Amino acid sequence: MQASIIAKTHAGVKSAVTLFVTGWFIAAMAFEFDGEKWPGAETEFYFALEGTSGTGILWNTAFREALLDWNEATDFNYILREESRDPCLSDSLNGVDFTEDVCGTEFGEQTLAVTLTSYRAQLLGPPRIIETDIVINQGQTLDIFDGNLQQFGVRFDGIDFRRIALHELGHALGLNHEPSAAAMMAATVGNLDRLTADDIAGVNALYGGLSNCNVRVLSYGRISDSLAAGDCTVNELTLGGSDDSFIDVYSFELVETTTVQFEMASTGLDSVLILADSKLQYLDFDDKQSGSCSSSLSQTLGPGSYFILANTFDEPVQEACGTTGAYELTASFSSSRTPSLGNGTSLNGGSSSAGFSAGITADNGNSFGNRFSASESLDLDVSIDIDPLHVGQPGFLIIAAVVDGEILLLNQQGQFINYSQNPAQLIRAASKVLDATEELAVLTDFVPAEVGIDSIIVDFFIGYGVDSDPAEVYFHQTPLNLIVIP
């Protein structure tokens, strides 16, 4: 994060790019962009152009084909809306039309079309695009055809409109002119009438920032990591700007409205936490008012996909903190439903369609979470939907608790035994003929403080197996986390 980002304001800015008639392409691979882009690599575009070209093709048909060409060839998606919108109106809607001037300003003598783009500043990277409109010079003679602009023995009445649409739509999604490339985005129109590898690579690079970073799936609980040389940078993530601060990217999914809380604790790293949606639109960030190196934020979110970004400043804000160093990221949640435990897996690679659910509650199931005080009374109930192939077979249930790297297994007397000290024997929580659904109360009215636990972090796993293959255990990938605080 840039050190001055907190003082930034959000303001729309208009920028025009122009396609000229004269000139030729020079072959090269050198796509150009400044990093401004649409969140989520998509936007709606409105078009309802009237009239027919000299070759009998509707203007609107050619424009639609140009939109679809960008969609089919690149990672960007234009959502087509065949409705008329005024391109000179700042209405947050993208439109196109033939006009006699550039919204009050005269077209240049050789100008075919102009793309007008509005930007808005954001927390990381260059501004994002919020509106883009295309005005086409109705004073120019246009037609619709393929191939060279001039063909021996064939007469076309003007410049090809379709390649103009392709070019301007490239600007609309964030590409600049290519002064030295054999590409549709070259600064001058020429014989090229389709997108090239350079155009396609430019778009995919512009919208491929997440692929430059290692995106890890977030597990609730505590993660120890660091920001240091070799980590992803904001520049690599956002593809633009001057922010070279390091950043770690974590993804998480919510199936219903959930309150999430994140703490990034460090004694030497000037930490910054940023919450973003699936389109990397920034929802919240820590304002660093605490005066420490650590940061935290809390937010109630609806169902969907999100990112939590562990970042720092490009220049330290807190005098005692630096831009590299270790941190601990603690993630907690509170929801009215039990959390997702992820996809199923097994110890030895076996397949199973079993489903696993579990949750920790301190209010008799009115809410579930993973962070509680040592004085609260906790219940932990688990449920397993057994694979139909295993129903009716003699088998067993396994409950594991991982604490400080040690694996504890629940025995049939309700005690957790250190399995790490005796891994030769798999301790069973229950041995029985497996029903279609197996339920087990792991904790009931458990008050940590009453057994001398003031603070602890535990990851629970639940699983089962069949006696015919006792070395195989089927369980879930995402741990059920418990954080107990004083």
Q: Which domain holds residue 349?
A: 344-485
- pLDDT tens, per residue, the chain with 486 residues: 554 332 222 233 444 444 433 322 223 345 678 889 999 999 999 999 999 999 999 999 999 999 999 999 999 999 999 999 999 999 999 999 999 999 999 988 888 899 999 999 999 999 999 999 999 999 988 999 998 877 655 556 788 999 999 999 999 999 988 876 688 998 888 888 999 999 999 999 999 999 999 999 999 999 999 999 999 999 999 998 789 999 999 999 998 999 999 999 999 999 999 999 999 999 999 966 667 899 999 999 999 999 999 999 988 788 889 999 999 999 999 999 988 888 899 999 998 999 999 999 999 999 999 999 999 999 999 999 999 999 999 999 999 999 999 999 999 999 999 987 777 778 999 999 999 999 999 999 999 999 999 999 999 999 999 999 999 999 999 999 999 999
Residues 389 and 296 in one domain: no
pLDDT at position 407, please? 94
Domain stops at, among 139, 174, 207: 207
Domain stops at, among 207, 240, 260: 207
Q: Kind and range of the H or E element at 73?
A: helix 59-73
- Helices 59-73 & 161-172, crossing angle to 10 degrees? 50
pLDDT at position 1, please? 58
Residues 243 and 270 in one domain: yes
Q: Are 346 and 356 in contact (CB under 8 A)?
A: no
Q: How many domains does the chain have?
A: 3
DSSP letter (8 states) at residue 218? P
Residues 11 and 122 in one domain: yes
Q: Are 131 and 94 in contact (CB under 8 A)?
A: yes
Residues 359 and 439 in one domain: yes
Residues 276 and 405 in one domain: no
Closest-CA residue to 190 (of 154, 149, 131, 219): 149
CATH number at residue 330: 2.60.120.380
Residues 214 and 197 in one domain: no
Please tell me the number of Cα atoms within 13 Å of 350 on its side-chain side: 19
The number of residues making up the chain comes to 486
Residues 139 and 225 in one domain: no
Residues 158 and 278 in one domain: no
CATH number at residue 88: 3.40.390.10
CATH number at residue 421: 2.60.40.3880
Q: Which two tokens stand for residue 289?
A: 């008012």
Task: Look at strands 77-81 and 42-46 and give their pairing.
Answer: parallel
Domain stops at, among 155, 181, 207: 207
Q: Are 113 and 162 in contact (CB under 8 A)?
A: no
Residue type, 223: I
pLDDT at position 448, please? 97
The pTM assigned to this predicted structure is 0.86
Cα 280 to Cα 38: distance, rounded to the nearest angstrom: 10
